[in-house]
Structure formats: C-alpha cells, structure tokens
Amino acid sequence: MNNILTVDGPSGVGKGSVARIIAQEQNWHLLDSGAIYRAFALAVDSRGIDITDEGSLETVAQELDLEFKTEKDSELVSVYLDGVDVSKTLRTEQTGEMASKIASIGVVRAALLKRQQDFAKPPGLVADGRDMGTTVFPDAKFKVFLTASAQERANRRLKQLQAQGYKGIISQILADVVARDERDSSRKHSPLKPAEDALVIDTTELSIDEVITRVSDLIKA
Ligand code: DC
C-alpha cells in the first residue's frame, strides 16, 4: 500500500490542517504522527520514567494504549491514552516540548515505527510529521515538505492560541519555534529534512487554500 501522501515540515507550518483537509478530500486515512510522540511523552511523564532509562522507554512505547476516535458529527479527532481523553493536554506547548526531547531517542523512534506504519491501509493515507517521507514511508507515492519562516510560523501559532482564547507572547513563541526547529533538525535519528523526492513548498506567502491546491495538483498529476 503506497497510496500515501507524506506531509513533513517544522512545527507551526500548518501540516496538520493541510493533512486533514487533503485526507477529507481524498477520503483517505490520516496519521498525525506528532500526536503519537506527544501521547508517548505524556505516558512517560505520568509514569515518572527517567528519559535516560532506555529499557523502560521501550517498554512504554511497545505497550502504549493509544486510540484515535473521530467524534460523532464532527471532524475532530480525540486522542485517548490509557482510556482517558488527553486531546487538550496533548496540544500544549509543554507537551510539544517534551515530545520533541523524547523523540530524539533512537529506541523510542524504533519502537514507535511499526505503530505508525500500521496506519497505511486502503484506499490511502495522509501522514504528517517530521520523517514520514524519509523514514516511515520512504516508498510513498506523494511527498511534500512544507516550510515557512520562523517569524511567520510564530505569528500563525499566536493567532491559533488567540482563537482558542489563550494569550501568547510573540517573542516567547518565536523563541520556542526556533528552539524546536534546532532540536528536531539536528538530532541523529531521523532528523527533520525533506525527502529527496519531496515537493518543497514555502508557505510563508501562501494561504492555506493555495497550499491545498498545490498538494491536490500533485496527487492529480
Ligand atoms: O508535529 P508536532 O508538533 O505535534 O510534534 C511534536 C514533536 O514530536 C516534534 O517537535 C518532534 C516530534 N515528532 C517527531 O520527532 N517525528 C514525527 N514524525 C512527528 C513528531
């Protein structure tokens, strides 16, 4: 099953929205791989596991009780960890930060690999993350890599927070974005980088509709 679109890129670039809309358009399955790393980070944190204890990390990864449920009459996907809805906690900056740290550990990536690959089912899959096109689905038929300036991504994140009723400080958000880019790109295992055969789209000056059109055109072509 290589009827797969991979959508990789740095944090705050809009991968999640693009992946969700294309999956709906095509009627394909959706994999939010960042949610798996985030849920894993929450599981490790709640069990009080030391992140240098690779044996325990591997066990938690293998036993991770994780479920994605599409809510009735809604396009929202809720995430259940150990039977508890963790969708809200999952999206916080703090969880993202923990996920980014823990995702740099090789045994963690290896233990979570198959769980991600299992999402590839007919009629197709849209997978978003950092290494979908390079490591998890190297044979995917369609690959895009989205970029945008760090300033633009921080602005988008601020708007997103404000829309959810939160306040944000742009300088702090920008510093977080830059720190996360640095960690995700410089790690040894599956660093954030475009696959050689990916279409790279700089979205700094593009609307979400324009990005969707380019990605849809790639699939049609
Ligand atoms: O996409 P996101 O912000 O939900 O991802 C949270 C962190 O998880 C990200 O900073 C790095 C890690 N991650 C990863 O290493 N590989 C992926 N395929 C997806 C996420």
Q: At 137, which CATH number?
A: 3.40.50.300
Q: Which residue has the CA at smallest separation from atom 16 of ligand 1?
A: 130
Q: For 100, how many CA atoms within 13 A lie in the half-sphere containing its CB? A: 21
Give the position, in ligand 1's atom list, of the atom nearest the Cα of 136. Answer: 18
Structural domain includes residue 106: yes
Stated pTM of the model: 0.94
Write the DSSP string, 124-162: -EEEEESSIIIII-TT-SEEEEEE--HHHHHHHHHHHHH
Q: How many domains in the chain?
A: 1
For the chain, percent of residues with pLDDT exceeding 90: 88
Structural domain includes residue 221: no
Structural domain includes residue 21: yes
Structural domain includes residue 107: yes
Structural domain includes residue 9: yes
Ligand 1 proximity of 4 Cβ (cutoff 6 Å):
no
Domain that holds residue 193: 4-214
pLDDT digits (tens, 9 = 90+) for 54-84: 999 999 999 999 999 987 777 778 999 999 9
Query: What is the Å distance from ligand 1's center to 103 Cα?
Result: 7
The string over 177-190, giving b where at least 16 C-beta atoms fall within 10 Å of a residue's C-beta and e elsewhere, is: beebbebbeebeeb
Structural domain includes residue 148: yes
Could you tell me the pLDDT band of residue 112, with boundaries at 50, 70 and 90? Answer: very high
Q: What is the mean pLDDT of the chain?
A: 94
Bridge partner residues of 146 (DSSP): 201
Query: What is the Å distance from ligand 1's center to 8 Cα?
Result: 10
Q: For 29, how many CA atoms within 13 A lie in the half-sphere containing its CB? A: 18
Structural domain includes residue 219: no
Structural domain includes residue 152: yes
